[in-house]
Amino acid sequence: MNAMNNEVEYGARGTLGLLVPQANTTAEPEVQAMLAPDIALLTGRLTSPKPELKDRLDDYLIHLETFIDTFSNAPLTGLGFLITGSTYHMNPDEEDQFFTKTGTTRGYPIVSAGQSIRRAFKALGAKRIALVSPYPDWLTAKSIAYWQRAGVEILGVESPQKVGGFHNIYTLRNDSVLQAARRLLPLKPDVILLAGAGMPTLGPIMALADSGMPAISSNFCMAWQLNQMATGHASDEKSIAQLMRGEAEWRGIFTARFPGARLASG
């Protein structure tokens, strides 16, 4: 991976780009809270006029180069593609090759949400996974198939209770996500994956970790990977273990920034 530069005033360790779905209200707050000092983040929107989710997911990947172009000549030193649904149809090797090729063309590393989670599984030695899925059934099925192709066993799946509103995923609340995750605890997974970059996850991750169950999410793993772009060690075990500790610095940053999002109980 490329070394960070200090070409601009903010972001002495690098200026990174992040692409998120057009109406996502969750990814940016969670990723920003977890970034290490002196990393600047520029966010772009993945947009599509298609009314159906299946078609929008395809559009986001098909037009990836166009979305990257929206950063113009900003001195990016890395980029995250923060949506898993767009790559669930791929095999892991195919996904890796696609983003490596795109990154080589652009001159900086690019990581997808799926890659970031797979790297987390590898770093944690996690093979037995429980899944909290906010998706419709057809996308949950694609998600399960993707993780199985990646070599992990899905022990069980639970979905959080939806409350409606402008988007079924983006209006989910922490307590509903945590309750769904707790229903998976009897399965004794190596780790619980809270799927979907639009679902709130940092509060549940803190509560689960404090009760002895490690949990990760798309946003958690993407933040880890963006931080790792400064070191060049994408699958470093120590770095992700530090983020999962009860005294991790991002916890204080997150709860101070969004005190209303704190869970009532751990």
Consecutive H or E run containing 111? strand 110-112
Query: Contact 102/76 with Cβ under 8 angstroms?
Result: no
Asked if the 15-261 domain carries CATH number 3.40.50.12500, the reply is yes
What's the chain's length in residues? Answer: 266
Confidence of residue 163 (pLDDT cuts 50, 70, 90): low
pLDDT number for residue 2: 47
What is the model's pLDDT at position 262? Answer: 64
- Token couple for 7: 């070409």
In this predicted structure, what is the pLDDT of residue 165?
46
**pLDDT value, residue 235:** 73
DSSP output for 8-71: SSS-TT-EEEEEEETT-SSHHHHHHHHPPTT-EEEEEEE----SSHHHHHHHHHHTHHHHHHTT
Distance between CA atoms of residues 170 and 150, nearest Å: 27
Find the mean pLDDT for residues 215-236.
Answer: 90
Q: pLDDT band at residue 147, thresholds of 50, 70 and 90?
A: very high
pLDDT, one tens digit per residue, over 54-94 is 999 999 999 999 999 999 999 999 999 999 999 999 999 99
Flag whether pLDDT at 44 surpasses 90. Answer: yes
Average pLDDT on 186-193 reads 98
Strand order in the sheet with 110-112: 40-46, 15-21, 78-81, 110-112
167 band by pLDDT with thresholds 50, 70 and 90: low
Q: Report the chain's mean pLDDT, rounded to a whole number.
A: 91
Average pLDDT on 27-48 reads 95
pLDDT in tens, 86-128: 999 999 999 999 999 999 999 999 999 999 999 999 999 999 9
- Residue closest to 220 by CA, chosen among 27, 42, 83: 27
- At 233 the pLDDT is 77
Confidence of residue 164 (pLDDT cuts 50, 70, 90): low
Between 244 and 7, where is the model more confident?
Answer: 244
